[in-house]
Every structure is written in C-alpha cells, then in structure tokens.
Amino acid sequence: MLQLLSELRHKVAIGFVGGSNLPKQQEQLGRSDVDVTTLFDFCFAENGLTAYRMGEELQSASFIKWLGEEKYKELVKLYVWLLQTYPRAICGCVTGDEGSFTDAPTI
C-alpha cells in the first residue's frame, strides 16, 4: 500500500483526515521507522485541529479564541436549537444534540 501511495503522490497531492491524534495515526497508517507526515502531502489529525503540510506542522488557531467564548456559546445554542427544530434539514449524519470541538468550553 505504501508503494501505491508513493506512486500516486508523484502524480497528485495526497492527504488524510482522521479523528485521532498524530501518534495514533502514525500507528494506524505508517511504520514505526517512517514518519507518517512524510508519506503524505497533507495530514490532518484530530479532525483537522492539527495540520501538517509536507511534514511541517502548520500554524493552528483557535476558532473559540477568534470568535470569543460568549459568541461561541450563542452559536452552539443556536446550533442545538436548529438540530432540535429542524433535525432532517441539517444533516442526517449528525448525532447527539450538540456540536463538539476539542477543548470546547462547557455551556
């Protein structure tokens, strides 16, 4: 599989997105002797909260810090209301009754 990915990478940019942290993704995708971030052009750990391009970690920013905690709380409350009021119109793949982000504040 690694050979196939290497051949593909010579033709197009390749990447992956996963919910786990990078060490877990290293365990799942690579070998212990090869850094998984060198096998792909783009790597997104923790559902994109941590990003790598060509083996280098990209600067990350906190959406909550950018928006502000109070506005974030209002946004989450609106999101929960929308899910409860219009569950089929939002997205059939969304489960639960609130959105979640890593390190999200408790409401």
Q: What is the pLDDT of residues 57-99, one digit of tens each?
A: 888 777 788 888 999 999 999 988 888 887 766 555 545 555 5
Q: Contact at 8 Å (CB) between 34 and 1?
A: no
What is the maximal distance between C-alpha atoms in the chain?
Answer: 50
Domains and CATH numbers, the chain: 2-57 (3.40.50.1000), 62-107 (no CATH)
d(CA 30, CA 28): 6
Predicted TM-score (pTM) of this structure: 0.54
As a whole-number percent, the residues of the chain with pLDDT over 90 amount to 24
> Which of residues 50 and 107 earns the better pLDDT score?
50
Return the H-helix or E-strand segment holding 75.
helix 69-85
Determine the distance from the C-alpha atom of residue 26 to the mean position of all C-alpha atoms in its chain, rounded to a whole number.
Answer: 15
Q: What is the pLDDT of residues 8-28, one digit of tens each?
A: 999 999 998 988 888 898 888
DSSP state, 58? P
